[in-house]
Chain A
Amino acid sequence: MIGGLHDVLMPAGAQAQAILALWHWLLPICTLVFVAIMAALWLAVRRAPRVAQDDTPDVSSLFEREPKVTRTVWIAVAVSTVLLLALLAASVFTDRAIARLPLANALHIELTGYQWWWAVRYDDADPSRIFTTANELHVPVGRPVIVSLAGADVIHSFWVPSLHGKKDLIPGRDATVSFRADRPGIYRGQCAEYCGYQHAHMVLYVVADAPDVYERWAAQQRKPAVAPVNDEQARGRDLFVAKSCAMCHAINGTSAQARNAPDLTHVASRMTIGAGTLENSVSARAAWILDPQQFKPGAKMPGENLAPEELAALNAYLGSLS
C-alpha cells in the first residue's frame, strides 16, 4: 500500500504548522462558546416552569422594560464580539506568518494540472539543469519551495495537507504557493477542486529528503533514460516507440518526445502510476497498460492490446527506467 502523511493536524512544514497554531485558537474558543450557549439553553429550558399549551400568555413585556435580561444579553453580545475580534486577529497574524516564509535559496517548481495528472517541472537558472517529471515532487528538507501553478484545461487545486493549505490552478491565471518541509517523509496530496470524471484519482506525492539525498535524486532525474541492458528491454523500448505509447508519452534519450501525458523518463523511480491510482509494481503496470479504464474510467489513456511477451518486454523496459 502506498503510504503518505495527509493530515491537517499533523504538520510537517512551516506553513501547515502556522495554520495548526490558528486551529489551536479556533477550536478551544469555538468549543467554549458552543458549550456556553448550550449550557444557557439547557438551563433556560430546565428552570422555566412547565405549563399547558392554553396557559394565558404573559404580555407584560409589551408594556414594561426588562432591564436585567437586557443587560445580560448586551454583555453576551459584547463578549461574543470580543472573542470574534480575538479570532480575527489570530487569523490575520497567521496570514502574515504564512506570507513571511523566508524564501532565500528557494527551489522553483512549475506545477501544471491536467485532467487528471500533474506535470512537474523543476526550474533552474541554468537550462541544462531543468528537468520534468510527473505526479511526484521531491524536495529537500529545510529549503523553501516556490511552486508556480498553472491550469492547463480546467480548475485544479494543489493541496498537501501536512505541508500547506491549498491553492487553485486556474486557467488563464498565475498563482504561486510557497512551503517548506521541515521533516523528511512522504506527504500525500490530492487535487481539491472538482475537475471531471477522475478528480478522485489525481493524487500527488511530496517526498521530503535530506538535502544530499535530494541532490542525488535530482541528478538522476536530469539524466536521459537508462539504456536497455538486454534484448527484452531493447524490444520493450522499440515497442514503446512503435506502438501508441510514444504518441503521448516522452522518454528522454529516445525518439519519444510527446508532451501530452506524464513524462516516463524515470518512471520506475516513482511510487505510483496513474497519479496515485496504483502502486508502481510489475503486475500493476501490466494491468494498467492493458486497460487503464478498469482502474481509472474516463482517463485519457487508451488501452493497448499487446501479446503477453510484448507486454512483458515493455514492462521490463519501463521497470528499468529508474
Chain B
Amino acid sequence: MSADAGSVSAAGVPLERSQRARRKRADAVAGSGEVLRDGAGWGSRAALALDHTWRDESGFIGWLRTNDHKRIGKRFVVTAFLFFCAAGILAAVMRMQLASPDNHVVGPDFYDQLFTMHGTTMMFIFAVPIMQGMGVYLVPLMVGTRNTAFPRMTACAYWLYLLGALSLWFGFAINTGADAGWFAYVPLAGPQYGIGKRADVWNNLINLTEAMGLMVAVDIATVILKMRAPGMSLRRMPLFVWASLVASMMIIFAMPSVMLAANLAQFDRTFSTHFFNPAEGGDVLIWQHLFWFFGHPEVYFIFIPALGFVSTIIPTFARRPMFGHSAVVLSLIATGFLAFGLWVHHMFATNLPELGKSFFTAMSFMIAIPTAAQIFCWIATLWTGRISLRVPLLFVLGFFAILVLGGLTGIMVGAVPFDLQVHDSYFVVAHLHYVLIGGAVFPLFGAFFYWFPKFTGRMLDERLGRWQFWLFFVGFNVAFFPMHMLGLQGMPRRIYTYGAETGWGTLNLIATIGAVVIAASVLLFVVNFVRSLAKGALAGDNPWGAGTLEWATHSPPPAFNFVALPVVASREPLWVREADEPTHVSGLSAQTREGLVTTVLDALPDVRYSYPSPTVWPFIAAVTVVIWLFWSNITPSGMYYGLIPPAIAFVAWYWPSRKETAEELLLQRRP
C-alpha cells in the first residue's frame, strides 16, 4: 500500500496534484505513508497506535498538560472531596461551639468566618464541582466518545477552580476569610460594613468558580448534543447524560447572574460605584434578586446530577431498565425550567408585594410534581424488578428517606406564612441539609461505590461501605432532625452562641453528637478508599452487569476510552444487542486524536473532529487570570495592566501548530 499512498487516497480516488504535494509534506511530517485506522479489536496494531496517540507524556509535565477528560474529571472529584472534608471540619468546630449555651470555643468573629467558609466551600467548591467532575469523567464514556468537546477549556477550568478555592482558604488562613455569610448580603458585605479585604476574597472566588462552572457546562453540553455514539438518539440517551445536559444548560443561564452580582459588589467596594447604595439611588434588595436567581437553580445543579446517579444505579440493581424513562426525562427538563421561577422564596421576609410572593409559593409547590413523578418511577422500577441489594443501592435507599423528608419540609417552607416563622431559623438549616445531603451526598457516595471499579479497576469494600452507610444515616438524622424543633423553638441561624434561658441546649448537644458520628462515617469512607485503591478486589470490565456504555471498556478505561467507538441500537446497549445492527465504528485515525461528531437528534455520523493536543497554556492562562483578579483588587490600574498576561496566554493557547494542521489535512477527504 505504501508505494501508492502518494497518488491515491485511502478510498482509492486519485488525488489532485496539489493534494499530492500536500500529502508528501504531511508524510514527511508524520513519518510514514501508512495511516492506521481504528476498528480492529484489542491488541491490534491500531489499538497500540491509539494508545500511543492518546496517552499523556509521563511525569509532571504530562500531568500539567493533560487533556484527558478522565484525568481532569478525577482531579475535580478528588479536589472537591478534600474540600468537603475541610468544610466538614469547620462544621464540627461550629457544632462544638454550639453544643452548650454561652460556650467559648470560638469568638464571634471567627465563628462568622467559620459558617461563611463552611457554606461557601460546600456550595461553590464541593457540591457543584464534584457533580461537574463526575460528569466530565462519565459523560464521554456514557455517550461513547473519546474525550469531551473542548478539553483544553475544561483543563483551564480545573486550574481556575483550584486556584480560586486555594485563594479563599489562604485568605481564611491569614484572617481574611469571608465572613458575611455564603450569600454575602449587602450592606454587610458592602464597602462600609464589609471591613477589610474579606468580602473581596469572596467576590474573587465567585468569579473563578463560576467561570469554571460555565466552562465545564459548555463542554459537557456540547459533548452530549454533538458527540454521541452513532445510533444514540436522544430517546436512547442514558438518564445520567440527560441529567448532566439539563444541569449544564441551567448553569449556563444561572451562573452569569451571580458573577454579575459579585462584580457589581466588587465595583462598589473598589471603585465607589453605588449599585447597592440606597442613598445614591442604588438598591439593597437587587443583590438578593441577582444572587438567588442564581442561588436557587444552583441547588438544582447539585440535585439533578444526583438524580442522574439514582436513575443509573436503580436499574442496575433492580436488573431492569428504568420504568417510565421518558417520564423521568421530561421530569428532569421540567425541573430545570421550573427551578428558575422559585428564587423569591428566599426573600419572603422582605417587603416585596404579598401577591407576588404567593406566585412563588405556587411555583415552589409546582416543582415538587416532577420530582414526585421521578420518585414514583423509581419505586415502580424497584417494585417490578429483581433486586441485588449492594452498597450503591443502599445509599440510594437512604437518599429516598432523607430527600423525601427534606422535600416535604421544603413544601412547608415554600408556604409564605409558615416561612415567615421559620425563615433564617434552624428549621431551614435542617431542611437544606436534608435535601442537600440526602439529595446529593447520599447519591454521591452511592455513585462512588458504583463507579470506583470503573475509575480504578478495583472494588470498594462492601462491609466497610455498609458500616459507613449506617453510621452516616443514623448520625445525619441525629444531627439534623432536632434542628427542626430548634427552629420551631425560635433559634435563629448564624448565631455564635445562645443563653441558657432559651432552652436550646439539649437539642444542640444532641445535634453535636450526630455531627461526630457523621465525621466517623466519612473517615470510614476515606479508609475504605485508601485501602481499596491498594488492595481492593479486581473489578473487571463490568462488575455490576450494568447496561450503559462506560462498562463496555476496560476498568480503568484506556486513554482512548474505546478501541472502537460503539454504535448504539437501544437504551441499554450492553443489555440488548440487535443481531444485524453494526456494533462499532471503524475508520477514525489511530495516529491523530480523532473523534466523531454526530447530529443532535438522531446521532447520525456527521463530521470527523480533530481534538486539540495537550498543552500547558490552559494552566498558564488560569494562573494569569487569577493574578489579574487579585491585582485589580489591590489597585484599579491592575484591571488594565493585569489583562496583558492573560491575553498573551490565550493567544498562545489558540496558536495553531503546523504539525497538527498538516496531520488534519492528511485526513481530509472530498465529500
Report yes or no: A8 in contact with B388, Cβ–Cβ below 8 A.
no
Report yes or no: A84 in contact with B417, Cβ–Cβ below 8 A.
no
Report yes or no: B389 in contact with A50, Cβ–Cβ below 8 A.
yes
Report yes or no: A84 in contact with B415, Cβ–Cβ below 8 A.
no
- Could you say which residues of chain A place their CB within 8 Å of the CB of B657? none
Which residue of chain B has the shortest Cβ distance to A88 in the bound complex?
Answer: B365
Report yes or no: B284 in contact with A76, Cβ–Cβ below 8 A.
no
A168 and B409 alpha carbons, distance in the complex (Å)? 22
8 Å CB contact of A66 from B278, B323, B354, B417: B323
- Tell yes or no: B496 within 8 A of A by CB: yes
The stretch that binds B, out of A102-110, A186-194, A227-235, A253-261, is A186-194
A58 and B423 alpha carbons, distance in the complex (Å)? 47
Known: A8-B488, A33-B408. A62 touches B576 (CB 8 A): yes
- Could you say which residues of chain A place their CB within 8 Å of the CB of B123? none
Known: A40-B379, A59-B572, A297-B107. A8 touches B320 (CB 8 A): no
- Tell yes or no: A57 within 8 A of B by CB: yes
Distance in angstroms from A220 CB to nearest chain B CB is: 26
Which residue among A16, A115, A165 has the maximum number of chain B CB atoms within 10 Å of its CB? A165
Report yes or no: B383 in contact with A154, Cβ–Cβ below 8 A.
no
Report yes or no: B351 in contact with A166, Cβ–Cβ below 8 A.
no
- Tell yes or no: A87 within 8 A of B by CB: yes
Report yes or no: A73 in contact with B320, Cβ–Cβ below 8 A.
no
Report yes or no: A199 in contact with B495, Cβ–Cβ below 8 A.
yes
8 Å CB contact of A173 from B285, B315, B570: B285
- Could you say which residues of chain A place their CB within 8 Å of the CB of B505? none
Known: A167-B349, A199-B494. A50 touches B376 (CB 8 A): no
CB interface residues, A 1-29, toward B, < 8 Å: 1-4, 6-9, 16, 18-19, 22-23, 26-27
A95 and B572 alpha carbons, distance in the complex (Å)? 49
A197 and B285 alpha carbons, distance in the complex (Å)? 22
Report yes or no: B383 in contact with A172, Cβ–Cβ below 8 A.
no
8 Å CB contact of A69 from B380, B498, B500: B380
Known: A84-B369, A155-B284, A157-B424. A194 touches B387 (CB 8 A): no
A77 and B376 alpha carbons, distance in the complex (Å)? 8
Report yes or no: B387 in contact with A50, Cβ–Cβ below 8 A.
yes
- Tell yes or no: B86 within 8 A of A by CB: no
Which residue of chain B has the shortest Cβ distance to A5 in the bound complex?
Answer: B490
Counted as pairs of residues, one from A and one from B, with CB atoms less than 8 Å apart, the total is 290
Report yes or no: A48 in contact with B382, Cβ–Cβ below 8 A.
yes
B541-580 contact mask (Cβ, 8 Å, vs A): 1 or 0 = 0011101000000000000000000000011100110000
Report yes or no: B425 in contact with A84, Cβ–Cβ below 8 A.
no
A157 and B348 alpha carbons, distance in the complex (Å)? 12
Which residue of chain A has the shortest Cβ distance to B183 in the bound complex?
Answer: A194
Known: A37-B375, A77-B376. A84 touches B365 (CB 8 A): yes
Report yes or no: B181 in contact with A57, Cβ–Cβ below 8 A.
no
Report yes or no: A161 in contact with B575, Cβ–Cβ below 8 A.
no
8 Å CB contact of A172 from B284, B379, B487: B284
Distance in angstroms from A275 CB to nearest chain B CB is: 12
8 Å CB contact of B351 from A91, A98, A173, A198: A173
- Could you say which residues of chain A place their CB within 8 Å of the CB of B408? 30-31, 33-34
- Could you say which residues of chain B place their CB within 8 Å of the CB of A44? 379-380, 382-383
- Tell yes or no: B637 within 8 A of A by CB: no
A73 and B100 alpha carbons, distance in the complex (Å)? 47
CB interface residues, B 479-500, toward A, < 8 Å: 487-490, 492-500
A242 and B107 alpha carbons, distance in the complex (Å)? 33
A38 and B501 alpha carbons, distance in the complex (Å)? 38
8 Å CB contact of B188 from A16, A40, A73, A154: A154
A91 and B375 alpha carbons, distance in the complex (Å)? 25
Report yes or no: A190 in contact with B351, Cβ–Cβ below 8 A.
no
- Tell yes or no: A283 within 8 A of B by CB: no
Report yes or no: A194 in contact with B420, Cβ–Cβ below 8 A.
no
Distance in angstroms from B223 CB to nearest chain A CB is: 25
Which residue among B315, B424, B487 has the maximum number of chain A CB atoms within 10 Å of its CB? B424
Which residue of chain A has the shortest Cβ distance to B543 in the bound complex?
Answer: A53
- Could you say which residues of chain A place their CB within 8 Å of the CB of B319? 51, 55-58
Known: A19-B420, A41-B400. A172 touches B108 (CB 8 A): no
Which residue of chain A has the shortest Cβ distance to B324 in the bound complex?
Answer: A73
Distance in angstroms from A40 CB to nearest chain B CB is: 5
Report yes or no: A51 in contact with B490, Cβ–Cβ below 8 A.
no
A1 and B379 alpha carbons, distance in the complex (Å)? 52
A210 and B241 alpha carbons, distance in the complex (Å)? 65
- Tell yes or no: B45 within 8 A of A by CB: no
- Tell yes or no: A61 within 8 A of B by CB: yes
- Tell yes or no: B144 within 8 A of A by CB: no
Report yes or no: B372 in contact with A77, Cβ–Cβ below 8 A.
yes
Report yes or no: A48 in contact with B386, Cβ–Cβ below 8 A.
yes
Report yes or no: B417 in contact with A94, Cβ–Cβ below 8 A.
yes
A113 and B229 alpha carbons, distance in the complex (Å)? 61
Report yes or no: B386 in contact with A51, Cβ–Cβ below 8 A.
yes
A230 and B369 alpha carbons, distance in the complex (Å)? 73
CB interface residues, B 270-302, toward A, < 8 Å: 278-279, 282-285
Which residue of chain A has the shortest Cβ distance to B362 in the bound complex?
Answer: A88
Report yes or no: B492 in contact with A51, Cβ–Cβ below 8 A.
no
- Could you say which residues of chain A place their CB within 8 Å of the CB of B421? 8, 16, 19, 161, 165-166
- Tell yes or no: B516 within 8 A of A by CB: no
CB interface residues, B 190-213, toward A, < 8 Å: 192-193
- Tell yes or no: A287 within 8 A of B by CB: no
Known: A94-B417, A175-B351. A45 touches B193 (CB 8 A): no
A61 and B284 alpha carbons, distance in the complex (Å)? 55
A218 and B308 alpha carbons, distance in the complex (Å)? 62
Report yes or no: A159 in contact with B382, Cβ–Cβ below 8 A.
no
Report yes or no: B372 in contact with A80, Cβ–Cβ below 8 A.
yes
Report yes or no: B109 in contact with A298, Cβ–Cβ below 8 A.
yes
Which residue of chain A has the shortest Cβ distance to B319 in the bound complex?
Answer: A57
- Could you say which residues of chain A place their CB within 8 Å of the CB of B193? 115, 153-154, 196
Report yes or no: B350 in contact with A173, Cβ–Cβ below 8 A.
yes
Report yes or no: B350 in contact with A170, Cβ–Cβ below 8 A.
yes
Known: A153-B193, A197-B112. A61 touches B386 (CB 8 A): no
8 Å CB contact of A170 from B279, B285, B320: B285
- Could you say which residues of chain A place their CB within 8 Å of the CB of B575? 57, 59
- Could you say which residues of chain A place their CB within 8 Å of the CB of B424? 157, 159, 166, 192-194
Report yes or no: B349 in contact with A87, Cβ–Cβ below 8 A.
no
- Tell yes or no: A92 within 8 A of B by CB: yes
Distance in angstroms from A174 CB to nearest chain B CB is: 7
Report yes or no: B383 in contact with A192, Cβ–Cβ below 8 A.
no
Known: A66-B323, A73-B376, A175-B350. A170 touches B284 (CB 8 A): yes
- Tell yes or no: B33 within 8 A of A by CB: no
Report yes or no: A57 in contact with B320, Cβ–Cβ below 8 A.
yes
Known: A87-B411, A199-B495. A62 touches B387 (CB 8 A): no
Distance in angstroms from A197 CB to nearest chain B CB is: 4
- Tell yes or no: B252 within 8 A of A by CB: no
- Could you say which residues of chain B place their CB within 8 Å of the CB of A192? 349, 423-425, 492-493
8 Å CB contact of B380 from A58, A72, A170, A297: A72
- Tell yes or no: B368 within 8 A of A by CB: yes
- Could you say which residues of chain B place their CB within 8 Å of the CB of A87? 365, 411, 415
- Could you say which residues of chain B place their CB within 8 Å of the CB of A175? 350-351
A153 and B190 alpha carbons, distance in the complex (Å)? 11
- Tell yes or no: B416 within 8 A of A by CB: yes
Q: Top 6 A-B pairs ranked by shortest CB distance?
A: A165-B420, A172-B278, A200-B495, A6-B490, A91-B415, A175-B351
Given contacts A30-B409, A53-B388, 7 further A-B contacts (CB under 8 A): A48-B384, A58-B319, A73-B373, A87-B415, A92-B361, A171-B284, A192-B424
For this complex, 20 residue pairs linking A to B, each with C-beta atoms less than 8 Å apart, are A1-B500, A16-B421, A37-B375, A51-B319, A57-B319, A57-B320, A61-B320, A62-B570, A73-B373, A77-B376, A91-B414, A98-B417, A115-B193, A154-B185, A157-B349, A157-B424, A161-B488, A173-B284, A192-B349, A193-B349
